A and B are shown apart, each in its own frame.
Chain A
Amino acid sequence: MTTTTQQLDVELNEEGFFVHPEEWTEEMVPELARREGIDEITDAHWTVIRYMRAAFAANGTGPTVRALGKSSGVTIMELYHLFPKGPAKIAAKIAGIPKPRGCI
């Protein structure tokens, strides 16, 4: 693990997802986002991140891009604009939840 990861003092898996989602706090978001190449967190980013946390709390798993597009209030086009490297995957990393699994 890199030194910057140690600064956050959380355990991440090989792919960079939180091993213990309960260790996540909102204060970590700017640093987590920066590591994914997102320098400015907009309100829309927060909408998605909070939706990821809520969905994980309710279902024990994060939503796929399709589910996000249908339920988060952010369109799929906008989701890819906010998280170009994969909305569900990157938002899950920043939201401190496991990688969503699902083919669609």
Chain B
Amino acid sequence: MKDKIEKVSIIISKGSLEGIYPGLIMANGARAEGIEANLFFTFFGLDAIHAKRHEHIKLATVGNPGLHFATWAGGLPGVSSLMTHYMEHKMEALDIPSIPDFMEMIYETGAGIFACKASVDLFGLEKNDLIPQVQDIITVGEFYDMAAGGEIIFT
């Protein structure tokens, strides 16, 4: 029998659409496999759990060579919103939930959702600026304690 992963701790550090989704998909997928999962949001990744911002996460259209169009075009007004809408439309067709719905769903799977204390302090945030599914604001040391014995994935 192959070794089985028992626990994952996934760090989300980026605040773009393409920076947030992979970590959410991995956390949700881990729970579906019966793997214990904890999500940690740090730096701009905090936007994914920011009550006022998580509905407005945008695709990065500048500095994103994967989009295959000129950098100057990506910077034109409205392009990021347009591309985000396009992407959201495609995701909806595949039944991929929006970020707010995904956070709610991941919470329901029993995964832990945590915010990084240094980042919360840096951005001048408080617990009530974050979505109610956030369990706690924790330090890096507490993160390592929680992650002990499992895999750590940084995104």
Contacts and interface: CB of A to CB of B under 8 A. Distances in A.
Interface of A: 64-67, 69, 75-77, 80, 84-90, 103-104
> Could you say which of A67, A76, A104 has the most chain B C-beta atoms within 10 Å of its C-beta?
A104
Given A75-B108, A76-B109, A103-B25, A86 B31 contact: yes
B95 A86 contact: no
A104 B28 contact: yes
Contacts of B108: 69, 75-77, 80
Contacts of B95: 66-67, 104
A66 B105 CA distance: 8
10 contacts: A65-B31, A65-B32, A66-B105, A75-B108, A76-B109, A90-B34, A103-B29, A104-B25, A104-B28, A104-B97
A97 to B, nearest CB: 16
A11 B61 CA distance: 51
Contacts of A77: 108-110
B108 to A, nearest CB: 4
Contacts of A80: 31, 108-110
Nearest to A88: B32
Contacts of B148: none
Contacts of B94: 104
A104 B34 CA distance: 14
A82 B89 CA distance: 33
